[in-house]
Amino acid sequence: MTTIPHWINGSPVPGADSAPVFNPATGQERARVVLGDAADVDAAVTAAATAFESWSESSLSRRTQVMFAFRQLLVEHEEELARIISAEHGKTVDDARGEITRGREVVEFACGLGDVLKGSFSDQVSRGVDVHDFRQPLGVVAGITPFNFPAMVPLWMHPIAIATGNTFVLKPSERDPSAANFVAELYRRAGLPDGVFNVVHGGKPAVDALLTHPGIEAVSFVGSTPIAKYVHEQATAHGKRVQALGGAKNHAVVLPDADLEFAADHITAGAYGSAGERCMAVSVAVAVGEAADALVEVLARKAREVRVGPGDAPGVEMGPLVTEAARERVENAVGAAASQGATVVVDGRGLKVDDHPECAAGFFIGPSLLDHVTAEMDAYREELFGPVLAVVRAESLDEAIALINANPYGNGTALFTASGEAARRFRRGVKVGMIGINVPVPVPMSYYSFGGWKDSLIGDSPVHGPDGVRFYTRPKVVTTRWPQPAQQRTAAGFDFPTSN
Ligand code: NAD
């Protein structure tokens, strides 16, 4: 059986301990992954610190040239990487291609970094004095990432960190670790010097070593809210800059004037795509007024039509969950919703993938649709992270907005309507970071920043786009005066300097 090693200083590095990596579609162990400890983290940070000395001195054009080459390799190896992701995560190969494309867009943003990094210059702010500013990299920075986007979420981070002159240590999810090593190999082939991009695998011990290591300047985290809070607290206590994105409960509101067939189509895809294991998945549909009964009817029909199977089989729209534990948790949540008074309109529990006998032990659950869910039920309050769509009924748009605002999460939300006035009221009124108008999964383009509000983002820094550049660099402001002829000089004063 293959053991997936760390990647430190441009080479694979073995580890003492390891954990199984499963193919969720078959339920079989497909590889093992090494579990890093403080010594592995220290080796990676030392390599990254040495690499920083020369990488931070390399020219901006050299750094962006590596990004152009890396981008091309991502295009050429998209299929291979998509299959690796599908085999360990369970999502369909097409869905994996989608995450690679969206991640590659951040590389494209990093290719054009020259424009974003331009500083400003103010001439003659005082007599004979000019001011300009510029930004410099931080040093060694770390990324700690979740299982659900093993390529895209790290790609939100490392292209910008590296193109701005930092060196990087990635700690990917231990559930689907292979994509990180594949990306490391592509960087090597793109000409990135050894030590600039490193991968340390593992769980909590590796994370704790990163959060406390004195050689790390900043930590980017994406994952569940409790761990985001922990990472933010620990890393800031150890003097690091932190961006920490957490979990989500995304509401799609459907007004009576919406095209119901269109809304249901998009909500179904947003709820069950990637088996609901997306931080931007639609997990709550808020049916306003008379839209409710008709909407539930169409949603139920569409949920029953979703084609479930292994992610690499043609025509499959939804794969399994990532682990057996995740499948059990989601099945229990559907049961708990029923016992708390929700109507289980479509029940995905116990699904058998009959036409794929190799999947008998896979971690499958079918799309589930719950109706008459209320804000007090666990199915509404908890992030289920599975293919479960909860329908909550509301009397008005204002009631829907109040519901969204009372929810502790604020990652994404969507409104389906034909009314510009309602859309404007909604986008101004909701306490949510990413908003879609007739767009169910409003993931911003790479040149905008990505991040939610409330418990979906701990601290104050979203990822990628302008905020990513700001996060991975520090500003300097320089006030300059060159020697002038004696008659033009201003005398030095003992008062606090002011312009003249
Ligand atoms: P997770 O929080 O369990 O794990 C994330 C990372 O933290 C992994 O690398 C993991 O190894 C590490 N980790 C786990 N437990 C830890 C602990 N006790 N101490 C230290 N480190 C620990 O998340 P997950 O299950 O991999 O991913 C799903 C979660 O991520 C969902 O909550 C989802 O909403 C969230 N997510 C959020 C966004 C966003 O942009 N806001 C994007 C993707 C995923």
The domain spanning residue 271 has which CATH number? Answer: 3.40.309.10
Minimum-distance ligand 1 atom for the alpha carbon of 231: 20
Q: DSSP secondary-structure letter at 443?
A: P
Say if residue 206 is in the same domain as residue 325.
Answer: no
**H/E stretch holding 234:** helix 225-237
26 in any annotated domain: yes
Say if residue 240 is in the same domain as residue 354.
Answer: no
For the residues 104-130, what does the mean pLDDT come to? 96
**H/E stretch holding 254:** strand 250-254
Contact between 383 and 224 (Cβ < 8 Å) = yes
Contact between 161 and 51 (Cβ < 8 Å) = no
Ligand 1 within 6 A of CB of 411: yes
Tokens of 7: 């990647």
Domain boundary among 384, 408, 437: 437
Say if residue 239 is in the same domain as residue 347.
Answer: no
102 pLDDT more than 90? yes
Between the CA of 222 and the centroid of ligand 1 the distance, in Å, is 6
Tokens of 25: 């579609």
179 pLDDT more than 80? yes
Please tell me the predicted confidence (pLDDT) of residue 219. Answer: 98
Q: How many CB atoms lie under 10 A from the CB of residue 50?
A: 15
483 in any annotated domain: no
Which of 83-86's residues contact partners 24+ apart within 8 Å by CB, and which partners?
A: 83/312, 84/178, 84/179, 84/182, 85/150, 85/151, 85/176, 85/179, 86/311, 86/312, 86/319
**H/E stretch holding 33:** strand 28-35
Give the residue carrying structure tokens 């590296």. 162
Contact between 24 and 309 (Cβ < 8 Å) = no
For the residues 197-205, what does the mean pLDDT come to? 98
Q: What is the pLDDT of residues 472-493, one digit of tens each?
A: 999 999 999 998 888 888 788 8
392 in any annotated domain: yes
Ligand 1 within 6 A of CB of 268: no
491 in any annotated domain: no
**Could you tell me what percent of the chain has a pLDDT over 70?**
100
Between the CA of 205 and the centroid of ligand 1 the distance, in Å, is 15
Say if residue 203 is in the same domain as residue 93.
Answer: yes
Q: Read off the amino acid at residue 441.
A: V
Give the residue carrying structure tokens 């890093």. 36
Ligand 1 within 6 A of CB of 223: yes
Minimum-distance ligand 1 atom for the alpha carbon of 246: 41
Minimum-distance ligand 1 atom for the alpha carbon of 175: 26
Ligand 1 within 6 A of CB of 323: no
Ligand 1 within 6 A of CB of 174: yes
- Ligand 1 pocket: which of 153, 173, 329 to mutate (most atoms within 8 A of CB): 173
Binned at pLDDT 50, 70 and 90, residue 108 comes out as: very high
Contact between 349 and 332 (Cβ < 8 Å) = no
**H/E stretch holding 293:** helix 291-305
Say if residue 204 is in the same domain as residue 277.
Answer: no
Say if residue 149 is in the same domain as residue 292.
Answer: no
Say if residue 302 is in the same domain as residue 195.
Answer: no
Say if residue 296 is in the same domain as residue 393.
Answer: yes
Say if residue 236 is in the same domain as residue 262.
Answer: no
Minimum-distance ligand 1 atom for the alpha carbon of 227: 2
Ligand 1 within 6 A of CB of 462: no
Tokens of 443: 């993931």
Q: What is the pLDDT of residues 422-460, one digit of tens each?
A: 999 999 999 999 999 999 999 999 999 999 999 999 999
Where in the sequence is the domain holding 52, given as residue range(s)?
2-246+456-478
Residue nearest ligand 1's atom 27 by CA = 146
Which residues form the catalytic set?
A: 279
333 in any annotated domain: yes
Q: What is the pLDDT of residues 264-289, one digit of tens each?
A: 999 999 999 999 999 999 999 999 99
Say if residue 58 is in the same domain as residue 184.
Answer: yes
Please tell me the predicted confidence (pLDDT) of residue 426. Answer: 98
Please tell me the predicted confidence (pLDDT) of residue 488. Answer: 81
Tokens of 363: 């971690």
443 in any annotated domain: no
Q: DSSP secondary-structure letter at 450?
A: B
End-to-end, the C-alpha distance of the chain in Å comes to 74
Ligand 1 within 6 A of CB of 284: no
DSSP string, 404-427: HHHSSEESEEEEE-S-HHHHHHHH
Q: What is the pLDDT of residues 354-377, one digit of tens each?
A: 889 999 999 999 999 999 999 999
Say if residue 420 is in the same domain as residue 470.
Answer: no
500 pLDDT more than 80? no
- Whichever domain contains 167, its CATH number is 3.40.605.10
Between the CA of 377 and the centroid of ligand 1 the distance, in Å, is 24
> What is d(CA 364, CA 331) in angstroms, rounded to the nearest whole number?
10
392 pLDDT more than 80? yes
Q: Please, is 379 exposed, middle or buried when counting C-beta atoms within 10 Å of its C-beta (0-12, 13-18, 19+)?
A: buried
366 in any annotated domain: yes
For the residues 61-75, what does the mean pLDDT come to? 98
Ligand 1 within 6 A of CB of 379: no
Q: How many CB atoms lie under 10 A from the CB of residue 271?
A: 30
Q: What is the mean pLDDT of the chain?
A: 97
Contact between 172 and 206 (Cβ < 8 Å) = no
How many domains does one find in the chain? Answer: 2
Residue nearest ligand 1's atom 18 by CA = 204
Contact between 488 and 133 (Cβ < 8 Å) = no
Binned at pLDDT 50, 70 and 90, residue 248 comes out as: very high
489 in any annotated domain: no
Say if residue 73 is in the same domain as residue 168.
Answer: yes
Tokens of 132: 């300009």
